[in-house]
Amino acid sequence: MKKIIVLGGTGFVGTHLCEKLVSDGWEVTVPTRRRANADRLKHLPNLTVLELNVNDEVALTRAVAGQNALVNLVAILHGTQTSFERTHVALPRKIAKACLTHGVQQVVHVSALGADALQPEKLPSMYLRTKSEGEAVLLQAASGAGASGQAGFDLSILRPSVIFGANDKFINVFANLQKIFPVMPLAGASARFQPVWVEDVATAVVRCLAGASPAASPRIIEAVGPEVFTLKQLVQLSAKLAGIGGGFGRPVFGLPDWVARIQAKLMSLAPGEPVMSDDNLDSMKVDNVSSGQLPGLASLGISVSALQPIAQDYLNRK
């Protein structure tokens, strides 16, 4: 039985992925800071929950020993320059070193649409720049071009657009906000997205591990759905599908950038994870849609799913 370690396995994409990996015959290890975070996974056979901090290089290297493959799903949407670099750049560097040390054969790294490993400095946000730098680290290691001189590993990088599904923090959030507020002032209303279903992303990871892609390693795949929406359209659609306001939702109006910046700063002061941050606004300067220059999920034999019927199902159930 092949062994795989999934970093970020307790998260939104991770829980879907772990179910598929176990079903596919993998022996799965999921590291997490707190064992309670993995309650939704404990019922899965051949899955081990390992309590550790993946940013601890010694502990991570020890956990990687004996694994055939590694998947990295760890990411943050909000934070400081330091926290973005720790999560998106320093962690991939530790992953690369650990995988090279222990001869891990395959790595799948989930990045972000809009990342550019060749020119990260040209991107407008800390999120996109650090995501790009993390890709560059892994691409170099996969090619065996690192200072260690060790042989590289098979690398697949997935670049998803915004991911939707029953427990997402995107469509659900906008639907819930419209249950509370009579109108929706919206920052970044004209930004474009190409939402992709969480099950399609999880399937893409499994198929990369199975060698389904015809592209040679290292390969970069854009994970997007079949439709492009503006953020305003997505907000309106979330209310319609949830039946808010008789299916008409709330009035949604876009904010000019200077007002959006004020809104984002105020939101960042609220307790919990913010809905919108200044850095999110910077990220939305780049359309979150397929470039058309890289393989898509069709290259893995995946027929991508449309947003509306799936979102309508889980929003109605809630």
- Would you kindly state where each structural domain of the chain is located, as residue ranges? 3-162+196-223, 165-194+227-288+305-317
Tokens linked to 102: 């222990």
CA–CA distance, 80 with 68 (Å, rounded to integer): 34
Where residue 1 falls among pLDDT bands split at 50, 70, 90?
confident
The secondary structure of the chain as a DSSP string is --EEEEETTTSHHHHHHHHHHHHTT-EEEEEESSGGGGTTTTTSTTEEEEE--TT-HHHHHHHHTT-SEEEE----SS--HHHHHIIIIIHHHHHHHHHHHHT--EEEEE--TT--SS-GGGSSSHHHHHHHHHHHHHHHHHTT-STT-----EEEEEEE-SEESTT-SSHHHHHHHHHH-SSEEETTTT-EE--EEHHHHHHHHHHHHTT---SPSSEEEEE--S--EEHHHHHHHHHHHHTTTTTT---EEEPPHHHHHHHHHHHHHSSSS-S--HHHHHHTTS-BS--SSS-BGGGGT--PPPHHHHHHHHHHH-
Find the mean pLDDT for residues 242-267: 85
Count CB neighbours of 3 within 10 A: 16
- Please tell me the predicted confidence (pLDDT) of residue 271: 67
- Please tell me the predicted confidence (pLDDT) of residue 39: 92
Asked if residue 218 has a cis previous peptide bond (ω within 30° of 0), the answer is yes
- Please tell me the predicted confidence (pLDDT) of residue 263: 79
Nearest Cα to 88, choosing from 161, 153, 138?
138
Query: What's the Rg (C-alpha) of the chain?
Result: 20
Checking if the pLDDT of 270 tops 80, the result is: no
The residue whose two tokens read 């040390």 is: 101
Mean of the per-residue pLDDT values for the chain?
Answer: 93
Checking if the pLDDT of 69 tops 80, the result is: yes
Where residue 56 falls among pLDDT bands split at 50, 70, 90?
very high
Checking if the pLDDT of 147 tops 60, the result is: no
Find the mean pLDDT for residues 16-31: 97
% residues pLDDT > 90 (the chain): 82
- 8 Å CB contact between 12 and 198: yes
- Please tell me the predicted confidence (pLDDT) of residue 226: 98
Q: Which residues contact 271 (CB under 8 A, 6 or more apart)?
A: none
% residues pLDDT > 70 (the chain): 96
Count CB neighbours of 273 within 10 A: 13
Checking if the pLDDT of 313 tops 80, the result is: yes
Neighbouring-strand partners of residue 51: 32
Find the mean pLDDT for residues 287-301: 96
Q: Which CATH number fits domain 3-162+196-223: 3.40.50.300, 3.30.450.20, 3.40.50.700, 3.40.50.720?
A: 3.40.50.720
Per-residue pLDDT tens digits for 89-124? 999 999 999 999 999 999 999 999 999 999 999 999
Checking if the pLDDT of 150 tops 70, the result is: no
Checking if the pLDDT of 145 tops 70, the result is: no
Checking if the pLDDT of 149 tops 60, the result is: no
Q: Which of 123-137, 158-172, 177-191 has the lowest mean pLDDT?
A: 177-191
Find the mean pLDDT for residues 245-252: 84
- Please tell me the predicted confidence (pLDDT) of residue 64: 98
Tokens linked to 95: 């992953």
Where residue 148 falls among pLDDT bands split at 50, 70, 90?
low
Q: What b/e string do you get for 195-219 counting C-beta neighbours within 10 Å, with b at 16 or more?
A: bbbbbbbbbbbbbbbeeebeeebbb
CA–CA distance, 5 with 195 (Å, rounded to integer): 27
Q: Which CATH number fits domain 165-194+227-288+305-317: 1.10.287, 1.10.3470, 1.10.10, 3.90.25?
A: 3.90.25
State the amino acid at position 277 in one-letter form.
S
- Please tell me the predicted confidence (pLDDT) of residue 318: 65
- Please tell me the predicted confidence (pLDDT) of residue 258: 86
